[in-house]
Structure 1
Amino acid sequence: MIRLHHVQYGRSFRVLWLLEEIGVDRFGGLEIVEHRIGSKEMREGDLPRLSPAVRIPAIEMDGLEMAESGAIVEYLTESHAPELGRAPGDAERPAYLQWIHFSETQASLIETLNLMHLFLRPPAKPDPVLCKLMAARLKGTLAGMEARLQGEWLLPSGFSSADIMMGFNLFAAPYYVKMDDFPRLRAYKDRIEARPAYQRAVEREGPQRFYAQEFYPVPDARDQG
């Protein structure tokens, strides 16, 4: 049995999706411990022992305890689904690792936008200049993906865990950046959403409860007075 500490549609979704790609039965089943972001319960249970930052995801499995989505995805790929990774010596290994880690460069921008738009409740207000800068940087990372996405998946040889790390970001990015300029990424997102394992992970998640509107524009500076 594998135990996953999870926040709905948070970074832990990457691990949940990977487990569905591998097959949860191979682990003897899956127990999901769902946390509510920002709640004190995250510091009162097992999470502080598992995660140095007291953040999701974290897993417990056969005495193994791990945190950080990238580390967990790399470990589970190497130990249970090597066909989804690219081993040392593989010609695609450098690109595979680059996408794995670039995913956090992009996700950190999404996280900052989430904080400014969703967690800075009145009387605090998000800074328009900072929101504009972060949205522009996020759009720049999407443009970089668009330019490099030449086939169906990030790597020429096919689907990999790099797609799981990067593809998850495409769930949140459209809340802050209009995707009209990125036809390849839109088609890529459609292919991701058509994967049976992705659909099973989404079914476990249920309707998202985090974003209250379809798009969050840069705040008007005139409203900040």
Structure 2
Amino acid sequence: MLTLYHGANTRSSRIIQLLIEMDVLDRVDVRTVGLVRQGNVGAPDPANPHPEGKVPFLDHDGTLIRESNAIVQYLTDHFASPMGMQIGDARRGSYLSWLAYYGNVVEPVLIGLVAEIDHPVFHITFRGPQEIYTHLGETLSERPFLLGDDFTAADLIMVSPFQFMPDFAPDIPQVKEWIDRCLARPSVKAMKEYDANLMEAVG
């Protein structure tokens, strides 16, 4: 049994969107847990098995998977969905690179911007937003989505910061058009409705 520990309007919302895109939301037990949110609002939830009280957190019959990019890869492998690239697909290397790039570079850089971190070691390690924007712009100048003609989980996770922090979107036409294409997908609306229903039930 797959169990996803989730909090509405958090990073785990993109996992809900992924499950909707793959049409497997009904095959996962989604458990909503309490969280400590920004501003120290809320409290740790003993029902959440994540060692740091975060979401998303995936439990597959005792196999525990943490971090969004690892969960995305696990789910797209498990359900063999076109949202992910399977072993043998020539695009799998690029797919895995985008997932890793998101967690290893994109999120640290954007969090650094929010926190106003300005340190040589940080910049040497992660570079900065301009390198991210250039990489996206060059990739999207050749195709509508990161891996080609079709929307995949690589797009889903890479576009997510611009969904929640639109001011960080670069003024690059092909990137802005990609963001619009990604956020116009029906799964985005469905995910927002799913989370809104959760919040209404709690409130």
**TM-score in terms of structure 2 length:** 0.76
Question: What residue is the counterpart of 1:14 in the other structure?
Answer: 14
Unaligned runs of 5+ in 1: 117-125, 207-225
Instruction: State the partner residue of 1:183.
Output: 173
State the identity %: 25
Per the TM alignment, residue 69 of structure 1 is displaced from its structure 2 partner at its CA by 0.7
C-alpha contact 1:3 1:33 (8 A) present in aligned 2: no
1:160 aligns with 2:152: yes
Question: 1-side partners of 2:4 and 2:98: how far apart?
Answer: 26
Give me the whole-angstrom Cα distance separating, in 1, the residues matched to 2:25 and 2:128. 40
Within 5 Å, give how 1:100-179 maps onto structure 2: 100-104=99-103, 105-114=105-114, 116=115, 129=118, 137-149=128-140, 150-175=142-167, 177=168, 179=170
* 8 Å CA contact retained: 1:21, 1:197: yes
Counterpart amino acid of 2:95?
A: Y
Are the counterparts in 2 of residues 2 and 27 from structure 1 also a CA contact under 8 Å?
Answer: no
> Which amino acid is 1:151 matched to?
R
Larger radius of gyration: 1
CA RMSD in angstroms comes to: 2.8
The Cα offsets for residues 61-115 of structure 1, whole Å up to 9 and x where unpaired, read as 555543211111111111124221111221111111111111111011222333x
SS state of the match for residue 33, structure 2? Answer: strand
Q: Determine if the alignment matches structure 1 residue 196 to structure 2 residue 195.
A: no
Following superposition, the deviation at residue 164 of structure 1 comes to 1.4
1:35/1:41 contact within 8 Å kept: yes
Counterpart residue type for residue 136 of structure 2: M
1:103–1:165: 8 Å Cα contact kept in structure 2? Answer: yes
Query: Would the alpha carbon gap of residues 34 and 167 (structure 1) be closer, same or farther in structure 2, given more than 3 Å must change?
Result: farther
Aligned length: 186
Q: State the match for 1:85 in structure 2.
A: 84
**In the superposition, relative to structure 1, how do residues 113 and 140 fare at CA in structure 2: closer, same or farther (>3 Å)?**
same
Deviations 1:179-204 (Å, cap 9, x if unpaired)?
Answer: 32x11111111111111112211233
